[in-house]
Structure 1
Amino acid sequence: MYLADHTWPELGDRLEGSSTAIVPLGSTEQHGPHLPLATDHLIAEGLATAAAEETGFPRTPTVDIGVSPHHRQFPGTLWVDPPEFRDYVESFTRNLAYHGIDRVVYVNAHGGNVDHLREVGRRLHEDGTMYAIEWMWDESIPELVDDLFERNGPHAGPKETAMITHLAPDLVHPEEFEAARDGGLPDMGDAETMVHGARTFYDAVDNSANGAFGDPTDVTPEKAERLFEAAADQLVRLLEWLDAREFEALMPEPRVV
C-alpha cells in the first residue's frame, strides 16, 4: 500500500491494523555513462513497491536525495550533508510513530546512506520510539550477485545495471557498457588509493574517471529479473520476520545489574 495514493479516512482504517512500514531511500547522483542519476532511488522504490504489494504494509514516498558529496564532481549529482539527512529522516520517521507505526525498514539503495540510517535507527531505538533498521538490497543476496557477474563493483557496476535494466530499461544505455568498463575501474583490486593500509581517497573520481566501478557488459534481462526477484523476496521475508516480533522484545534490554 502506497500511503500517498490514499485519502486520510482510508488511511485511518488501514494504519490502525498495521505496525510495520516501508521507507525507500536512495540518491540522485552519477552512475557512470550508462545509467541515470536516478539509479539508486529507482531501485529502492522498485523493491519497496514490490514488497508493499506482496505484504500489504504501508510504503512511504521515496527519499530521492541522499548523502552523495563524494560524487559531486560529476554534473547533476545532488546531495545533502549528513547531519541534515539524519535529522530529516528521523523527523519523518517519528511522524510514522505518531500514526501508530512502531517498526520501520529503511529500504536503502545507496551506500552513502548506510551509516546515517543506522544512526537514526539507534536514536529511535534508544529512546524507545520504534525499531527502525536499514536494509541494503545487494547485501541480502551476496552469493547470487557473485554468481551472476564476474566483475562486480560497488557503484554503477553490473548489479546496479541489472536492476535498472529490469525496472527502467529505457533509461539504460547499453551502447555505453564497454565505455563504462574501459573508462572506469572494472577491478577494485586495481585501485591505487590504498597506501600502507590507509584509504587515500575521498571522492569517486579519485578511483574512476567516469564514475563506474565493475564490468556491466555481461548483464542480460534474464539475470536482471533473477536479481530483482531474489532481492524482493529477501525484503518480504525481513518484513514478515519483523512484523511477527513482539515490540517489547525489540526494545533495549534493561541495565545489567
Structure 2
Amino acid sequence: MYLADRTWPELGSYVAEESVAVVPLGSTEQHGPHLPLATDHLIAEALAAAAADRTGFLRTPTINIGVSPHHRQFHGTMWVDPPEFRDYVESFTRNLAYHGIDRVVYVNAHGGNVEHLREVGRRLHEDGEVYAVEWMWDESIPGLVNDLFERNGPHAGPKETAMITHIAPDLVREEKLEAARDEGLVDLRDAETVVHGARTFYDAADNSPNGAFGDPTDVTPEKAAELFEAAADQLVQLLEWLDAQRIEDLLPEPHVDPQPGSRRER
C-alpha cells in the first residue's frame, strides 16, 4: 500500500489493523559515468515497493537526497548535512507514530545514510515511542553479492549496476561500462589510502577519478534478477518478523530494581 495514493479514510482503516511502515531512503549523487544520479533512491524505492506489495504493509514516499558530501566534487551530486538529515528523518517518523505506526523499517540504499539512520532509530527507541531499524539491501545478502561478482566495489560497481539493470535498464549507459572499470578503481587494495593504520581519505574523488569502484562489466540480466529477488525476499522476511513481535518486546527494557532515586527497604 502506497501512502500517497490513498485517501485519509483508507489510511485510517490501515492503522486500525496494522502498525508497520516501510520508508525508502537513498541519495542523488554521482554513480560513475554509467549509472544515473538516481541510482540509490531508485534501488530503495523498488525494493520497498516490491516488499510492500507482497506483504500489504504501508510504504511512504521515498527520501531522494541523503548524506552525500563525500561525492560533492562530481557534477549534480546533492546532499544534506548530517544533523539536518537526522532531524528530518526523526521528525517524519514521529509523524508516522502520531498516526498509529509503531514500527518502521528504513529501506536504505546509500552507505552515507547508515550511521545517521541508526542514530535516529536509537533516539526513537530511547524515547519508547516507536521502533525503527535501518536495513541496507546489500548487507542482507553479502554472500550472494560476493558469489555473483568477482570484483565488487562499494559504490557504482557491479552490485549497483546489476540493480539498475533490473529496475531501470534504459538508465544504464552500457557503452560506458568499460570506462567505468578502466578509469575508476577496481580494487580498493590499490588505493593505498590507509597509512600506518590511519584512513587518509575523505571523498570518493580521493580514490577514484571517475567515481566508480569495482568492475561493472561483470553484470548480466540473470545475475541482476537474482540479486534483486534475493534482497526483496530478505526485506519481506524482516517485515513479517517485525510485524509478529510484541511492541513491548521491541521497546526498551525497564530499569533493573531498585530504580534510581527509589527508597530502599531497610
Normalised by the length of structure 1, the TM-score is: 0.99
Q: State the distance in 2 between where 1:159 and 1:246 align.
A: 35
Let me know the Cα RMSD of the aligned residues.
Answer: 0.6
Q: State the distance in 1 between where 2:245 and 2:11 align.
A: 23
Q: State the distance in 2 between where 1:199 and 1:12 align.
A: 50
2:224 is matched with which residue?
224
1:175 is matched with which residue?
175
Q: State the distance in 2 between where 1:193 and 1:245 align.
A: 43
Deviation by residue 1:63-102 (Cα, 9 ceiling, x = unmatched):
0000000000000000000000000000000010011100
1:235 is matched with which residue?
235
Is there any run of 5+ residues in structure 2 with no aligned partner, and where? 258-266
Letter in 2 for 1:214: G
Higher Rg of the two aligned structures: 2
Does residue 3 of the first structure (1) align with residue 6 of the second (2)? no
Does residue 193 of the first structure (1) align with residue 197 of the second (2)? no
Aligned length: 257
TM-fit CA distance, 1:15: 2.2
Does residue 83 of the first structure (1) align with residue 83 of the second (2)? yes
Letter in 1 for 2:193: T
1:101 is matched with which residue?
101
TM-fit CA distance, 1:212: 0.2
Deviation by residue 1:177-200 (Cα, 9 ceiling, x = unmatched):
110001111011111111011110
Q: State the distance in 2 between where 1:121 and 1:256 align.
A: 23
Q: State the distance in 2 between where 1:42 and 1:16 align.
A: 30
Corresponding residue SS for 2:255: coil
TM-fit CA distance, 1:145: 0.3
Corresponding residue SS for 2:58: coil
Letter in 1 for 2:16: E
Q: State the distance in 2 between where 1:19 and 1:249 align.
A: 15
Q: State the distance in 2 between where 1:69 and 1:231 align.
A: 27
Is there any run of 5+ residues in structure 1 with no aligned partner, and where? none
Letter in 1 for 2:40: D
1:155 is matched with which residue?
155
TM-fit CA distance, 1:11: 1.2
TM-fit CA distance, 1:18: 1.0
Give 4+ residue runs of structure 1 displaced > 6 Å after superposition: none
Letter in 2 for 1:109: A
Q: State the distance in 2 between where 1:80 and 1:246 align.
A: 35
Q: State the distance in 2 between where 1:186 and 1:12 align.
A: 50
Corresponding residue SS for 1:215: coil
Identity among equivalent positions (%) equals: 82
2:19 is matched with which residue?
19
1:210 is matched with which residue?
210
Letter in 1 for 2:23: V
Normalised by the length of structure 2, the TM-score is: 0.96
